[in-house]
């Protein structure tokens, strides 16, 4: 959400939105008395409430609920907080038939609980809340979704109603306009419209099938990545998709990450399907004795991994179960850490500039479950902070969200409409080199332990492609467009002419489609606009006789009497500039 939408707010938005979620629950209970309520927190940009209502709600129900909410606001009902003994609260919600509240209360390890009452509606809640329903500002119910109770797929599926609330109508209207822009840019809709990718139930949830144009987009990103890595001294490696389970136990993945992994058995031996690429890269490093003179060693792989994501969090390309990372692992001496981390940051900076992304950085520190020593963790966190501080790069600290093997710098991209996306990361790891007994021979002839940096620049290609689609709204820059040019004839008389133009463009490596269908030119152009192709070349009798082209650009402007050589040069400049 655009930060400007949060300005001029005199009351805490979380309190406002939490109170609005209770307001919605009250309206739902009045309209549908048989409903059982679950939980209703404030979330970023809004709120939700989960309900157990087997018939399910409809969009028409949302309209009714919203109208009842407005009626309750007009009544300006006081919102009162009360503290009850745990047993009193259990009796009260048991008598009301609110089984989900009973489960929540039973899990509270205290003698007293707080409830909030507004009219005939009472809810278990720690608060705080507004003083009355009349203080609720502008709100809107947005959509329905399914949600498992407590996020567990083994539990019952509930109905979740999402909404948003602001202090005033102006802020609400701005946010609703923002949501319309989000819908317009939705990569799932554009992915279908632009024929980029599909996710089929028959294939499996979270598994992407690329269509030709999507596969070309991916190829262009991969080709860009390979060239950029070669320029920076990386070596390409490739590891297998499955490794023996003992490897994952040794690395700590089995103890700390197995819920996200898939496993199989071959010849009575257990294997793990890789969720990360690091172990194969470690084995390449271990394959020979290393000298300090070789370091840093930078291994790069466009490695496809599989992770078990819950079905409820899968989302187009943004959250999938199989994806490819632009993964690299750098083995180096401790005295090289500062320079190498800075090199990666500069790599990120140069790359994000090409795609017109702003970004910010965050350091994630030691989690509750970790491997290695606290001393090494402190050292790793210290060097990450030192680099950013020395370079004058601002950063936030995300306590306890590091990888289980090391702290990290997370780079969050900011897209064209202000949303933040996690893509690049730099992880500093002292633990895995210890577990796999990695070493190098130093200048004094003694064996020393290297440090290992795990890093990605774009991150998961699937996720980055999804972000790119939404960032550009499907209007990719020329160098990244799966189709750069569509050539259209006006009548069959120009068939030979447009085919010769097509061949000339293809011979120059320009990604071109030919449209010689016996259809009206206006329809061909309209389809080209929908496909968001950068250039549409139109050739009729006039163009054929003058050996020129009419070029219609994506923004609607037209260039007339264009020579073919000049047009080819224009596209080649677009490709080189990468903007």
Residues 517 and 515: their CA atoms lie apart, in Å, by 6
pLDDT tens digits for 183-204? 999 999 999 999 999 999 999 9
Q: Which two tokens stand for residue 409?
A: 């710098």
Q: If you search the block for the tokens 């689609």, which residue do you land on?
A: 469
**Whose CA is closest to 21, among 121, 96, 91?**
121
**Length of the chain measured in residues:** 579
- Residue of 22, 29, 281, 325 marked active site: 325
Q: Alpha-carbon distance 321 to 314, whole Å?
A: 8
> Which residue is catalytic, options 68, 129, 329, 455?
329
Sequence-distant (6+) residues with CB within 8 A of 270 are: 244, 245, 263, 264
Gap between the Cα atoms of 403 and 255, Å rounded: 13
User: What is the predicted pLDDT for the residue at 8?
Assistant: 32
* Whether 329 contacts 198, CB under 8 Å: no
Residue 327: strand pairing partners: 301, 456
Is 325 part of the annotated catalytic residue set?
yes
Task: Return the CA Rg of the chain.
Answer: 29
Q: What is the number of H-type helices and E-type strands within the chain?
A: 18, 28
Q: Are strands 242-244 and 322-332 parallel, antiparallel or unpaired?
A: unpaired
CB atoms within 10 A of CB 37: 24
pLDDT greater than 60 at residue 456: yes
Catalytic residue among 160, 187, 454, 524: 454
Which of the residues 218, 408, 531, 552 is marked catalytic?
A: 408
Least confident of 10-19, 206-215, 272-281, 484-493: 10-19
Establish how many alpha carbons lie within 13 A of residue 526's alpha carbon, considering only the half-sphere containing its beta carbon.
5
Q: Give tens-digit pLDDT for 22-45.
A: 999 999 999 999 999 999 999 989
Angle at 124 between CA 122 and CA 127, to 5 degrees: 100
Going by pLDDT thresholds of 50, 70 and 90, the confidence category of residue 7 is: very low
pLDDT at 476 over 60: yes
The predicted pLDDT at position 151 comes to 83
Token look-up 């447009």 returns 498
pLDDT, average across residues 211-223? 97
Q: Under a CB-based contact definition with an 8 Å cutoff, are residues 295 and 266 in contact?
A: no
Check pLDDT > 60 for residue 579.
Answer: no
**Among 26, 61, 118, 278, the one annotated catalytic:** 278
d(Cα 484, Cα 510) in Å, to the nearest integer? 7
**Phi-psi bin for 402: left (phi > 0), alpha (psi -120 to 50), beta?**
beta
- In 3D, which of 491, 492, 512 has the Cα closest to residue 501? 512
pLDDT band for position 349 (50/70/90)?
very high
**Active-site residue, selected from the candidate residues 50, 123, 186, 327:** 327
267 prior amide bond cis, ω within 30: no
Residue 166: HSE in the Cβ half-sphere, 13 Å Cα cutoff: 17
What pLDDT score does 9 carry?
38
Judge whether 85 counts as a catalytic residue: no
- Across the chain, what does the average pLDDT equal? 94
Domains and CATH numbers, the chain: 3-185 (3.30.980.10), 193-470 (3.30.930.10), 478-577 (3.40.50.800)
Question: Which three-class secondary structure state does DSSP give residue 243?
Answer: strand
pLDDT per residue over 149-185, tens digit each? 988 888 999 999 999 999 999 999 999 999 999 999 9
Catalytic residue status for 423 = no
Q: How far is CA 573 from CA 513, 577, 578, in A?
A: 20, 6, 9
329 classed as catalytic: yes
Per-residue confidence (pLDDT) for residue 6, from 0 to 100: 39
Buried (b) or exposed (e) across 304-328, using 16+ Cβ within 10 A?
Answer: ebbbebbeeeeebbbbbbbbbbbbb
Under DSSP, the state recorded for 291 is B
286-293 CB contacts, 8 Å cutoff, 24+ apart: 286/436, 286/438, 289/440, 289/441, 290/331, 290/439, 290/440, 290/441, 290/450, 291/440, 291/441, 292/333, 292/440, 292/441, 292/442, 292/443, 292/448
Identified catalytic residue from 307, 455, 471, 524 = 307
Burial class (CB in 10 A: 0-12, 13-18, 19+), 110: exposed
* Residue 577 pLDDT class (50, 70, 90 cuts): confident
pLDDT band at 570 (very low <50, low <70, confident <90, very high): very high
pLDDT band at 11 (very low <50, low <70, confident <90, very high): low
As given in the structure block, the two tokens for residue 397 are 């600290």
Q: Rounded to 5 degrees, what are φ and ψ at 290?
A: -105, 145
Q: Is 22 a catalytic residue?
A: no
Instruction: Quick: pLDDT tens for 93-138.
Output: 999 999 999 999 999 989 999 999 999 999 999 999 999 999 998 9
Instruction: Please give the pLDDT value at position 5.
Output: 36
From the list 124, 125, 97, the residue with the least C-alpha distance to 35 is 97
pLDDT at 49 over 80: yes
User: Cα(388)–Cα(383) distance, rounded to whole angstroms?
Assistant: 9
* Residue in this structure with the two tokens 């300006």, named with its chain if needed: 76
State how far the Cα of 314 lies from the Cα of 293, in Å rounded to an integer.
Answer: 45
The proportion of the chain whose per-residue pLDDT surpasses 90, expressed as a percent, equals: 92
Name, in order, each residue with C-beta under 8 angstroms of 335's C-beta and a sequence gap of 6 or more: none
**Cβ count near 148 (within 10 Å):** 17
Q: Tokens 């071109």 correspond to what residue?
A: 512
In sequence order, what are the residues at sequence separation of 6 or more whose Cβ sits closer than 8 angstroms to the Cβ of residue 213?
A: 194, 195, 196, 482, 483
**pLDDT reading at 458 higher than 80:** yes
Query: What is the per-residue pLDDT across 548-561, written as a single tens digit (0 to 9) for each?
Result: 999 999 988 999 99
Cβ 429 vs Cβ 294: under 8 Å? no
């Amino acid at each position: 959400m655009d930060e400007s939408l949060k300005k001029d707010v005199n009351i805490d938005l979380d309190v406002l939105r939490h109170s609005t979620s209770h307001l919605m629950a009250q309206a739902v209970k009045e309209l549908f008395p048989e409903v059982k309520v679950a939980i209703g927190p404030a979330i970023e940009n809004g709120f939700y409430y989960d309900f157990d209502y087997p018939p399910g709600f409809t969009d028409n129900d949302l309209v009714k609920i919203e109208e009842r909410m407005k009626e309750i606001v007009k009544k300006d009902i006081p919102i009162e907080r009360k503290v009850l003994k745990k047993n009193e609260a259990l009796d009260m919600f048991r008598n009301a038939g609110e089984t989900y509240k009973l489960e929540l209360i039973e899990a509270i390890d205290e003698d007293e609980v707080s409830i909030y009452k507004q009219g005939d509606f009472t809810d278990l809640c720690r608060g705080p809340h507004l003083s009355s329903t009349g203080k609720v500002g502008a709100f809107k119910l947005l959509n329905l979704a399914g949600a498992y109770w407590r996020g567990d797929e083994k539990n019952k599926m509930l109905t979740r109603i999402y909404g948003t609330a602001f202090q005033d109508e102006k802020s609400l209207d701005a946010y609703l306009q923002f949501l319309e822009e989000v819908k317009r840019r939705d990569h799932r809709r554009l992915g279908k419209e632009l024929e980029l990718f599909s996710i089929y139930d028959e294939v499996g949830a979270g598994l992407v099938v690329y269509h030709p144009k999507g596969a070309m987009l991916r190829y262009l990103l991969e080709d860009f990545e390979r060239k950029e890595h070669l320029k920076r001294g990386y070596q390409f490696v490739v590891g297998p998709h499955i490794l023996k389970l003992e490897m994952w136990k040794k690395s700590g993945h089995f103890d700390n990450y197995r819920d996200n992994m898939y496993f199989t058995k071959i010849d009575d031996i257990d294997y793990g399907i890789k969720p990360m690429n690091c172990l194969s890269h470690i084995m390449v490093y271990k394959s020979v004795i290393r000298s300090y003179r070789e370091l840093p060693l930078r291994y790069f792989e466009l490695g496809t991994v599989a992770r078990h994501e819950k079905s409820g969090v899968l989302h187009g390309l943004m959250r999938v179960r199989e994806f490819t990372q632009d993964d690299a692992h750098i083995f180096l001496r401790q005295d090289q850490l500062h320079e190498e981390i800075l090199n990666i940051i500069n790599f990120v900076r140069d790359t994000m500039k090409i795609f017109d992304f702003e970004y910010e950085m965050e350091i994630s520190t030691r989690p509750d479950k970790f491997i290695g020593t606290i001393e090494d963790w402190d050292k790793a966190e210290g060097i990450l902070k030192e680099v950013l501080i020395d370079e004058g790069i601002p950063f936030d600290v995300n306590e306890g969200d590091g990888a289980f093997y090391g702290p990290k710098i997370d780079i969050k991209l900011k897209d064209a409409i202000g949303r933040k996306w996690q893509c690049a990361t730099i992880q500093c790891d002292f633990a895995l080199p210890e577990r796999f007994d990695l070493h190098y021979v130093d200048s004094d002839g003694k064996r020393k332990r290297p440090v290992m940096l795990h890093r990605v620049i774009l991150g998961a290609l699937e996720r980055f492609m999804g972000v790119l689609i939404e960032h550009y709204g499907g209007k990719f820059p020329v160098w990244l467009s799966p189709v750069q040019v569509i050539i259209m004839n006006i009548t069959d008389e120009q068939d030979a002419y447009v085919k010769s133009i097509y061949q000339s463009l293809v011979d120059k490596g320009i990604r071109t489609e030919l449209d010689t269908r016996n259809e009206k030119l206006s329809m061909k152009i309209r389809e080209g606009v929908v496909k968001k192709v950068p250039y549409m070349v139109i050739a009729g009798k006039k163009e054929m006789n003058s050996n020129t082209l009419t070029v219609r650009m994506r923004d609607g402007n037209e260039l007339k009497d264009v020579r073919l050589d000049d047009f080819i040069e224009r596209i080649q400049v677009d490709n080189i500039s990468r903007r």
